Amino acid sequence: MGAASTVVSFDLPDVYAPSPVTDLSGDFDREAGGPLVLGFTAPGDDFESGVAAAYDLRFASNPEDLEADFSSCQAIDPEDLIDPSTLGAPEVGGRFVSLEVADGRATFGRNIVYFAIKVQYVRVNKSLSCISTES
């Protein structure tokens, strides 16, 4: 009689956070108004491969607020965007993402505004990146 074998499968915990966004940039025509365009290269779910679950994009008038207490800073909500699906449907790692805030002047005024983005795969693993832009 041959030996019996059993195959066991289980999910491994996600132990690797997404890579941080390192090229977050902003573009806004202060005189003409219009949308504020934020762009970055999408990280993956584990370092740079795969697809992250969500983007959490926030802004503040002081960059230290974004680092010290990110969750208390003002969030960019999907309804603030020209295409709301771009915030909730992350791209495959390595692809360029462009987010257009519908009315940059109304949202941010004529102030210098700092942005940060956290990329999330599972609720525990997050990465952080900041930029500044004038609006």
Residues 121/45/71/24 CA torsion (nearest 10 deg): -150
Give 135's pLDDT tier (boundaries 50, 70, 90): very low
Note whether 25 and 39 are within 8 A (CB): yes
Residue 17 lies in a domain: no
Residue 123 lies in a domain: yes
Residue 22 CB partners (closer than 8 Å, separation 6+): 41, 129
Residue 2 lies in a domain: no
Residue 54 lies in a domain: yes
Which helix (H) or strand (E) segment is 55 a member of? strand 54-60
Residue 18 lies in a domain: no
Mean predicted lDDT score pLDDT of the chain: 75
pLDDT of 25-70, one tens digit each? 988 766 666 778 889 998 877 666 777 778 888 988 888 999 899 9
Residue 119 lies in a domain: yes
Give 88's pLDDT tier (boundaries 50, 70, 90): low
Residue 10 lies in a domain: no
CATH code (residue 39): 2.60.40
Residue 66 lies in a domain: no
Rg (CA), the chain: 19
Residue 87, domain extent: 25-58+71-134
Checking if the pLDDT of 13 tops 70, the result is no
Checking if the pLDDT of 10 tops 60, the result is no
Q: What is the total count of domains within the chain?
A: 1
